[in-house]
Structure 1
Amino acid sequence: MTSRAFAELVRLPAALTVPGDTLAGAAAAGPLRARSFAMPAASVALYWAGMALNDWADRDLDAVERPERPIPSGRVSPRQALGVAAGLTAAGVGLAALVGGRPAAATAAALAGTVWAYDTVLKDTAAGPVAMAAARGLDVLLGASASGRTRAGLVPAALLAAHTAGVTLLSRGEVHGTRPLTAGIAGGVTVATAAAAAGHGRAALPVALAATYATSVGTAQLAAVSSPDAGTVRRATGAGIRGMIPLQAALVARRSPLAALGLLAAGPIAKAASKVVSPT
């Protein structure tokens, strides 16, 4: 397996949208500490595992609809993809246990189970967007669990889960297009999530970051309402994936403005990298 094939298999640029999950959870639980910045490594490993497993599970469908992907193109074998998924899952749970002890290990195990259930069973069912949203919410809780205050992360977990549900619902039209109503629902979720992330408007940075999120994601989703073709939906999905970064930053900014600005810097990098390796 070449490095390029691996990067495509795990959707390498999209991994930049993941560290902010655990940081948002950690920020909700208390001051950011050294372990807060170590937990994202476990989160990224589990995310990559899910991407590899996704391609393994979809290998027959991708052979028809997306033959350029690593498995149908012959650059990665199904066995290799499954091995990558299993190895990264074990690494993610192990890292979580090392950094955050039993609470983090339990949360990571629940997250891993949700990811595997989504990719292998639930993806094409009505429960698909819910399962994907649950996975993102659990990723946020993973950050809070490192301090032993998992429940403190429930609010940011709910917001990122809502955003993920909207993006996942819309992404189902990446190949054949979608309905204007579906794109409109995703846009409505974005507006509501941005309003909640901004809070009561008492701090300028969270409000500005929430507005950045709403503008970048909402504009693309509005375009999908007007033109719900596959190409527009793919662009809106990509914007939704990258849009997680300013949303995460808005949630982190209440505790650590510096960390929030650091997260925001990942946005342009993810956008540039997405031109080389697709995040979807």
Structure 2
Amino acid sequence: MFKYSYPYGQDFPFVEIETSQCSARLSLYGAQLLDWTPKGQFPVLWMSPNAEFVAGKAIRGGVPLCWPWFGKDPTDGGRPSHGVARVSLWSLVSSEVLADGTAVLELALPASRPEDPSSRLRLELGQSLEMRLVTENGTMPLPFSAAFHSYFSVSNYARTVVTGLKDCPFTEFAADAVPHRESPLHPAGHIDRIYYPTKTVVHVADLEWQRVLCLTRSGSNSLVVWNPGAELAAGMADVGAGFESGFLCVETVTAPQEEVVLAPGAVHTMICRVAVSGIGC
């Protein structure tokens, strides 16, 4: 039910998961869920066919973890964009399959110094998915932000609708953004928005696959909607021309705009639950 594999060498150990409820792949590099497919469903996560497995570089697709900061290094110290979690090797602490076929895995990224934070990631994979990222701060106050940078697989990006964002203010970072139909959101072309503050529940409807992904979040007051659009994707070596049509990123985020500062020893928990249903259910 759990099997280790090394398709890209010893630096990139995978855990392959197969249960009565789902199949999945997890990379211990980055603690990154690469694939999750509930039985009888289309894949829920998108992995780039051009993803690069290079030490020090983030993997394109699945659910990269942005931690303990989202965006640029808040100290301007030259540290990696979106934090160290997605370019670090995590430890698999435990794994089990429950009686109902749900796979439960827990991973850890310890602090390198007493003043630094540590992190644990708990995954529950079955017909639904729960991702729980727990941060325990070290001995110094920590300006904190984080994200589940989820790449959701869609039949056709142009036929995807996002609901639950009506009346939520947002900032658009795409310089070449085209007009999008709003309320509900029909993204088109390059979109790069941070919604803050947001509601707890957001739905991603795939009109061609007749599928709805229901995202329920806690410990997160922000949400990012991102797709590079055709022109930008064509120039991205780890995406490529035309592949942007197969995904939409809808990200559970504790954003810098929230100005979260963790006190010494404080604990922060961010959760995203993904349920899959048919349109009209």
Q: Give the shorter-chain TM-score range.
A: 0.3 to 0.5
Q: Which has the higher strand share?
A: 2
TM-score (norm 1): 0.34
Bigger relative contact order (CA 8 A; separation at least 6): 1
Q: Which has the higher helix share?
A: 1
TM-score (norm 2): 0.34
